[in-house]
Amino acid sequence: MNELDDVSHHIQDRISSLQRMLDLSLAELPQNKMKKLGQELFLLEGLLEEFEKCVGRQREQLKHLKELEKSLQKDLEDVQHIKDNVPAHMPRKKEPANGSQPVKNQREGVDVQPAQPENVKKTNKSFVRELEVITMPEFQSIPQYMKGRASYEQLNAAVQSINTAAAAKYKILRQPLKSLNNHARKLHQRFKDQETKDTKGHHFVVEDDIREFTQMKVDKRFQGILNMLRHCQRLRELRGGGVIRYMLL
């Protein structure tokens, strides 16, 4: 805008100068004044041409800024849409392995008290394997007869439920028996009874764990979801003793 202002002021000065000379044209002007008037008119014409060029440049800049504003507005809308539609199965910030929050049973209110700090040892035993979320390409690779009516969101909701059950189960197994209430002790014993030589060094859950620690329905649809997770190499089955163990891969 400064460029246009400068040219505009210059033109106004020239026009004022010409106006004064024209006012004097009522009287007879000498030859040198007529020549001066012609020069002023020539300069004014050049200034008008420069002014038109400046206006053209400013018009192009304005057009570019409007396009940029439109693009930024579209980006802002896209970001807001992403923010408002974050999938529920996206990984969340995990609590510390030795956090103070007790594990609670959604049906019977299991309250597992944390171990005393002096008894806590930082070892890799606190690690619990988690299933990774299913990606869209993986979901699309599942045969249609296997997917049925299960959606991408339902599949990853099951992944999240299995991870929740595994975390709750192995948190109980890490606690000293004396720190557990009666119900948690029974769960601890059941977990131990379900272990075999083939499960050593692996993490697994059973259907009762899903019922105990999550609100996921263990029904026919859930069985279909487990088949999909096996297809995507997130689980494998280990049978024995009348129990189906779902090993986390």
pTM given for the model: 0.54
- The per-residue pLDDT of the chain, averaged, comes to 78
So what's the pLDDT on residue 32? 64
Tokens 């259907």 belong to: 207
Q: Which two tokens stand for residue 159?
A: 């992944």
**Is pLDDT above 60 for 119?**
no
Q: Per-residue b/e over 163-193, b at no fewer than 16 CB within 10 Å? A: bbbbbbbbbbebbeeeebeebbeebbebbee
**Is pLDDT above 80 for 56?**
yes
Supply the DSSP string of the chain, one letter for each residue. Answer: -HHHHHHHHHHHHHHHHHHHHHHGGGSPPPHHHHHHHHHHHHHHHHHHHHHHHHHHHHHHHHHHHHHHHHHHHHHHHHHHHHHHT--TTS--PPPPTT-SPPP--TTT----PPPPGGG---SGGG----PPPPPHHHHHHS-HHHHTT--HHHHHHHHHHHHHHHHHHHHHHHS-GGGS-HHHHHHHHHHHHT--TTTTT--EE-HHHHHHH-----SHHHHHHHHHHHHTTSEEEEEETTEEEEEE-
State the Cα–Cα distance between residues 3 and 238, nearest whole angstrom: 80
Which stretch of 40-54, 119-133, 145-159 has the lowest confidence by average pLDDT?
119-133
**Is pLDDT above 80 for 7?**
no
So what's the pLDDT on residue 101? 47
**pLDDT confidence tier of residue 229, bands split at 50, 70 and 90:** very high
Tokens 């699309």 belong to: 140
**Is pLDDT above 90 for 205?**
yes
State the Cα–Cα distance between residues 115 and 121, nearest whole angstrom: 10
State the Cα–Cα distance between residues 248 and 158, nearest whole angstrom: 13
